[in-house]
Amino acid sequence: KLFFPDSKEPSNDLDYYYSHPELFEIWHLPIEKGELRLDSFPLMIPDPHPRNPIGKTYKELTEKELYFYFEAFRNRISKVIETFKPDIIECQHIWAYDHIIDDLGYPFIAAAHHSDQMGYRFDPRMRPIAKKSAHDAKFIFALSEENKREILELYGVAANKVIILENGYDRKMFHPFPVNKEELFEAHDLKIPKEAFLVTFAGKLSKTKGIDTLLQANALIPEKEKIHFLVLGAGNLKEALKGASPDSYSTKQVHFLDHLMPKKVAEFHNASDITVMPSRTEGFGLSCLEAMGCGLPAIVTRCGGPEHYAVGEIIEKENPEALAKALLKMKHLPHNAYKALSNQAIETAHHYSWTSNAKKRLHYYQKVIDETSKLKNVS
């Protein structure tokens, strides 16, 4: 069962989460006690979250707010554990929840996402808690070799404790299928010419994801090229563009579609020609893999994740000129060369399946359960 905090922020996936109680155990926020009130869950880094686009970070919480949140989480998760009675718990991120789970006496595995390592660097107050979480975890799942290296460097845990478990994607959802572009665009009130070259950007509107770099690259591309961008994600664009002069970027021929359900994301990928991931940093870059599964070649930056599997163009981060050049190159590829890249993208994506990911996870779950059983028998 998946447990997570949520403040019922309006979104396209809200109904899905709240209509499947057999899958999701939702901790409802806001919470309050006396003069203390938290409207939503805190964020590890100042990067928007689809379920909490303008929330406070842990770093911004007062001491009273922080420990009020911990106490409330402890009380809520204790009730869930009492009902569900898990043998093992997997905690997403090496962060605060892990520490509380360990304190309650339950074995856990921590799954790193790179954003938690960013949080460790960003928030000195949380470092002792995160470090204890890393050491208390039975195993740590890392997204990549780079992610494993930073885990070892930051937390000082044993190397054999950190298991590389690359992301998998939903092949039933993200695969090539025909899309009626006219109907899709009309449903979303998009005015895009039939001859346009379509590029998807699936990610948060943040500096981390490089939305500013994309818009700066767009300013360098002549409108006559008819390159249109489909931005599939939510966030604060004004914040992401802070510090950039207005004449350095362009939103012309850029269509902002907000946070979408996976099925709709797959439709837009299948209506498009390529995808871009101009991130400053990534642990893996799952959205790029999903686009490749739909047959889209990709333009990605060297940011720690997607450059290791992407099929297409790999460029340096924070380089609008290189991105503009790569976009024009991809647009003008001969049909046969484009088709070869598209097929290669699908073939590469197929190496990252949910099935293999799940089997590896289950293997380590069982190892922890067996070890816990032995310790109980000895005592």
CATH of the domain at 339: 3.40.50.2000
Q: Are 141 and 163 in contact (CB under 8 A)?
A: yes
User: Which phi-psi region, left, alpha or beta, contains residue 88 (left: φ > 0; alpha: ψ -120 to 50)?
Assistant: beta
Q: Does 235 share its domain with 213?
A: yes
Contacts of 60 (CB under 8 A, 6+ apart): 42
Asked whether the whole model's pTM tops 0.85, one would answer yes
User: Are residue 261 and residue 303 in the same domain, yes or no?
Assistant: yes
21 and 157 both lie in a single domain:
yes
Element (H, E) at 95: none
Q: Are 9 and 129 contained in the same domain? A: yes
196 & 145 share domain: no
Whole-angstrom CA distances from 293 to 137, 268, 350 are 33, 13, 7
Residue 175 falls inside a structural domain: no
Cα pseudo-dihedral 149, 155, 159, 161, rounded to 10: -120
Could you list the residue range(s) of the whole structural domain that residue 318 is in? Answer: 181-348
Residues β-bridged to residue 147: none
Task: Please give the chain's pLDDT, 379 residues, in tens.
Answer: 899 999 988 877 888 889 999 999 999 999 999 999 999 999 999 987 878 877 799 999 999 999 999 999 999 999 999 999 999 999 999 999 999 999 999 999 999 999 999 999 999 999 999 999 999 999 999 999 999 999 999 999 999 999 999 999 999 999 999 999 999 999 999 999 999 999 999 999 999 999 999 999 999 999 999 999 999 999 999 999 999 999 999 999 999 999 999 999 999 999 999 999 999 999 999 999 999 999 999 999 999 999 999 999 999 999 999 999 999 999 999 999 999 999 999 999 999 988 889 999 999 999 999 999 887 777 6
In a domain, 46, yes or no: yes
Q: Is residue 176 part of a domain?
A: no
Shared-domain flag, residues 127 and 6: yes
